[in-house]
Structure 1
Amino acid sequence: MEHKKSSFVKQKWLINTITILVIILAFAFVFRELQRNKVDVIGIILPPTSDVIIGFLFIFLVVIINPFIWYFLMNGCGAQISKKEASGIWWSTNIARYVPGRVSIIASRVWVARKWGPKVVLESLGWELILTTSSALLASSLLIFSSEISFSYKVLVSILALLSLFPFINPEFSQKLLRKPLQLLGKDEWKQKTVMTRMHYFNALFLMTVTWILWGFGHQFILKSMGFDAAIWELIGIFSFAYLVGYFAFFIPAGFGAREGTFTYLLSIMISGGLGAGLAIISRVFNIMADVVMFFVGGLLMPSIILDEDE
């Protein structure tokens, strides 16, 4: 027993050490680009210009829209959840993604939304993974129009983007496949075998696509405050790919470092590395600010939401 406990502690320390190293190395690259190009991030943000404020508002809108994506996914999983309930739960639990590992956000979402059943909530998170991957690949495929991007990348992303549309083409089969591992946990909690329809998935995919566009405009206005302009489709394509890299870095809280490093590197193909690093840092700061504000909004909504079936 002691041996197992010791092995677990060592494994946890190893994961934590690797996580810290990845974050340090990624941010070291970003800050090196800032210093090399003498970009003053604080000077760009403060005092905020109209372009900076508009850029923040676009990113803020992303955080406002996100719960409605989860609302359609939960409906597609068979949960009768209202937009108010989805918003309160999503905003109040999303802050947990800043805790290392994905366990915290999964556990908090499952616990707070326990009225609809843990496996139903877990399934919605599975759909969230599928949707984020698919929409990010579709958005990043905009880079096929860029002459700066290699042909092999264009082919790979285009193929993956097309393959990612399978859940939309056949949501019933995709849902059966997604529920298979969840059924191993015990008795089914779904009222119907399959509920997800193309309309459910389309609504969620449409809103997710809107968020990529909002990110693009937000970044474009922040760049304008630095005295530089870039094509909106390039900014959408680059950020969506960088976001996906951070999203799949499961052991890193909120993709810290992985997203910024990838974003800075890809932007350096189009613009100065220092400007890209500055944009990556400001984007993350604004994202955290929006998450914190909406966390308190979610907290205000929570008292009016019934969390237990017998209440």
Structure 2
Amino acid sequence: MTRQRILTVLRVGIALITLAAVVYAVARNWADVSVHLGKISWSTFLWSTLAAAAGTWLTMIGWKTLLRDLGSDLHLAPASGVYFVGQLGKYLPGSLWSVLVQADIASHLKVPRRRTAVTGLLALGLALATGFLVGLPAASYLISRTSSGFDWWLLLGIPLLVVLCVPQLLNAIIARMLRVIRREPLEHELSGGAVLRSVLLFLLVWVFFGVHTLLLARAVAGDGSPNPDLTTAAMTGYALSVSLGMLTVILPAGLGAREGLLTLILSTAIPTPAAAAVAIVSRFIVTIVDVVAALGGWLYARSHHLITERHAADETGARDVSV
């Protein structure tokens, strides 16, 4: 079996595993979902999906910003194809499949593999750091298990997150990592402007996903009166649960861990069955958005002849194998 055929089989397998995981999660928790699903109107479901789609799109823009600063300025079409198709790799156990798939696809566009790999790891790191930053209020809810509000001592974590976003430190970490694995250094270093833009984009990503969660949470709560605790838990709980879920590398896309954490956080403001329903429906929406984005990115790039077999053939003999 050729290498290209193996990669094709792998991508199809990823898609099938993704759909199976969604079906399994919904079926296993159908009793909780069925009670509260009727409270979510189609308009709420649509707006929540649009918010999740906006967050997913901005994640790609943040990744593209880093890749451009490192020397490869891809058009939105191939960037969408590379990023979104590669993102399906996160649904396999382990956190680095998406980076490996993205590096392989981008190599067809003559982007050095190590550059794409470094970009993917940077994007993961910045998403994780900003997720913890946005999720600091939710950490208070998770620790105390009561809606006691935000504990200000958690602000002590902000300086550490800021330090991790200093370009000089990031460049030193990248150079050290490449030396350890005996690879050539990158042609370009990260600039302060690119890091700042990426951090702001990832912060905005979490805001959109917070809105996505809040819309669902308010719907299942069934109470039209404002609930500050629910707003705080929903707007920050998704970022914290996903960030902690990313650390469970043996689980595909943090499956189970993310839902459990989000349920715990939301249950400080709404009944636990309602919180569980929000977590499960959120997973369903986000996964479908990922699959549709991957399909759309691939079709868009192919229809504009930006990823073709000719590119792959031309790259075979000159492919960068440094990563």
TM-score when normalising by structure 1:
0.78
**Quick check: 1:58–1:217 contact (8 Å CA) kept in 2?**
yes
Residue ranges of structure 2 left out of the alignment (5+ in a row): 1-20, 316-323
* 1:66/1:283 CA distance change after superposition, 3 Å: same
Q: Which runs of no fewer than 5 residues in structure 1 stay unpaired?
A: 1-22
The change in CA–CA distance for 1:235 and 1:151 in structure 2 (over 3 A counts) is closer
Q: Deviations over 1:213-239 (max 9, x none)?
A: 111212222123221464433312211
1:269 partner SS: coil
Residue-by-residue CA offset, 1:126-179 (whole Å, 9 max, x unaligned): 212321122112201244887946799753x422232111133x3023212123
1:159 matched to 2:156? The reply is: yes
Q: Report if the CA contact (8 A) 1:59-1:287 is conserved.
A: yes
Q: Secondary structure at the match of 1:116?
A: coil
Percent identical pairs in the alignment equals 19
Measured in 2, the distance between the counterparts of 1:49 and 1:142 equals 30
SS in 1 for 2:267: helix
Structure 1 equivalent of residue 90 of structure 2: 97
Measure the CA separation in 2 of the matches of 1:217 and 1:152. 19
With structure 2 as the length reference, what TM-score do the two structures score? 0.75
**Cα contact 1:144–1:154 (8 A) shared by 2:** no
- Paired residue type of 1:180: R
Q: Deviations over 1:175-199 (max 9, x none)?
A: 121231223334425223x2x1221
Distance change in 2, residues 1:176/1:134 (3 Å): same
Give the 3-state SS of the residue equivalent to 2:103 in structure 1.
helix
Is residue 64 from structure 1 mapped to residue 57 from structure 2 by the alignment? yes
Structure 1 SS opposite 2:82: helix
Distance 2:52 2:175 in 1: 33
User: Offset of 1:68 from its aligned partner?
Assistant: 0.5
Q: Could you tell me how far apart the structure 2 residues matched to 1:54 and 1:126 are?
A: 31
2:277 pairs with 1:278: yes
Q: 2:135 aligns with which of 136, 140, 149?
A: 140
| Matching residue of 1:211 | 205
Indicate whether 1:171 and 2:163 are aligned: no
- Find 1:43's aligned residue among 38, 46, 61: 38
Q: Which residue of the partner structure matches residue 11 of structure 2?
A: none
Please tell me the root mean square deviation across aligned C-alpha atoms, in Å. 3.0
Alignment-derived partner of residue 5 in structure 2: none
Sort the Cα spacing of 1:210 and 1:230 in 2 relative to 1 into closer, same or farther, 3 A.
farther
- Whole-angstrom distance in 2 between the partners of 1:145 and 1:176: 33
Residue 190 in 1 paired to residue 186 in 2? yes
Q: Deviations over 1:219-266 (max 9, x none)?
A: 222123221464433312211111111111111101100000001011
Q: Is the Cα contact below 8 Å between 1:143 and 1:149 reproduced in 2?
A: no
2:105 corresponds to which residue?
A: 112
**1:222 matches 2:223:** no
Aligned length: 276
Check if 1:85 corresponds to 2:82: no
Match for residue 302 of structure 1?
301
Give the corresponding residue for 2:176.
Answer: 180
